[in-house]
A and B are shown apart, each in its own frame.
Chain A
């Protein structure tokens, strides 16, 4: 069973719309979360990280974290066709190894 679950698997939004992506860890030892974006045929690039409860905003991107429920969400406002990509959530425990656990991703398509 995947320790990091992402939903939905795929998402289609119109250009200018809001995209909301979800990620939950089933590992209670997880403390830190990252969101990566991977365009087709390219490597994953770190988009945002969040380590504390609450919200973090960078431009059109907002990330929320609820540590009690081990749930993080990524919201993209004013979505652009260039935002079309695979979005990967990754989590790490604050103790033990430096391994990242990745979810299977959400495939976002922004329709012009």
Chain B
């Protein structure tokens, strides 16, 4: 199974502060994704990427930026964190085909006070 790691695993931030969540995959997958998961909403797509240097907006991009500096790394940046961004964040990766499965990292639990 594909290996996707995330750091940090837990984070407490203050309102207005900057938060960077990191994701690394070692399977040479082209596509990477950032989701947030909240009770009653399932998984919602924030940003995704087709490869190094590319980022695309998902369904809920407001308040988030993304960066894909290399094939392996994909970051999610909260420039001005707000309490509404308290959530669990998952990174996922997949190969290029439409039938390819997405593999998820362990998640980052973010609390914004």
A98 to B40, CA, bound (A): 24
Q: Are A99 and B45 in contact (CB under 8 A)?
A: yes
Number of B residues, CB within 8 Å of A: 25
Report the minimum CB–CB distance from B2 to chain A (whole Å).
10
Q: Are B43 and A44 in contact (CB under 8 A)?
A: yes
A61 within 8 A of B: no
Complex interface: chain A residues within 8 A of B33 (CB): 100
Complex interface: chain A residues within 8 A of B101 (CB): 34, 46, 49
A92-B98, A104-B42 given; name 7 further pairs at CB < 8 Å: A32-B99, A34-B101, A44-B90, A46-B102, A90-B102, A98-B96, A102-B35
Q: Are B58 and A45 in contact (CB under 8 A)?
A: no
Report the minimum CB–CB distance from A87 to chain B (whole Å).
11
> Would you give 12 A-B contacts (Cβ < 8 Å), ordered by A?
A32-B98, A42-B107, A43-B107, A44-B90, A45-B104, A46-B103, A98-B94, A98-B96, A99-B45, A100-B102, A102-B43, A102-B44
Chain A residues engaging chain B, CB cutoff 8 angstroms: 2, 31-32, 34, 42-46, 49, 51, 88, 90, 92-94, 97-100, 102-105
Complex interface: chain B residues within 8 A of A94 (CB): 98
Q: Are A43 and B58 in contact (CB under 8 A)?
A: no
Q: Are B106 and A43 in contact (CB under 8 A)?
A: yes
User: Which of the residues A43, A98, A105 comes within 8 Å of B31, measured between beta carbons?
Assistant: A98
- Contact string against A for B residues 29-53, beta-carbon threshold 8 Å, 1 for contact and 0 otherwise: 0010101000011111100101000
A105 to B41, CA, bound (A): 9
- Contact string against A for B residues 44-84, beta-carbon threshold 8 Å, 1 for contact and 0 otherwise: 11001010000010100000000000000000000000000
Closest B residue to A6 by CB, please name it: B42
Q: Are A99 and B48 in contact (CB under 8 A)?
A: yes
A65 to B106, CA, bound (A): 29
User: Which of the residues B31, B44, B96, B99 comes within 8 Å of A51, measured between beta carbons?
Assistant: B99
A81 to B43, CA, bound (A): 24
A98 to B30, CA, bound (A): 11
